[in-house]
Amino acid sequence: MASLKVHITFPEGRIKEPIIYQIGQEYKVVTNIRRADVTEKTGWMDVELVGDAGEIDRAVAALKHKGVKVDLIERNIIE
């Protein structure tokens, strides 16, 4: 089981979209919002993704494809 902590920054046009929910539904990852600050015009979240390393990588790629900026905070792999 692997986990990845990422800092996600949302552009103004994506603030109201349920992107974190969508990632949890589309990929076999558990999403855990650790911290967040979202307003009408800006938003960021620190999110932990837990699951298979390959699924986490696909989920991160999907986040980027959806137009959010993703920065790595920490990666943890337990085998």
Residues 23-70: pLDDT tens digits?
A: 999 999 999 999 999 998 999 999 999 999 999 999 999 999 999 999
Alpha helices by DSSP H, the chain: 19-26, 53-65
Q: Is the pTM of this model over 0.95?
A: no
CATH number of 2-77: 3.30.70.260
User: What residue ranges do the domains of the chain occupy?
Assistant: 2-77
Closest CA to 33 of 24, 42, 52: 24
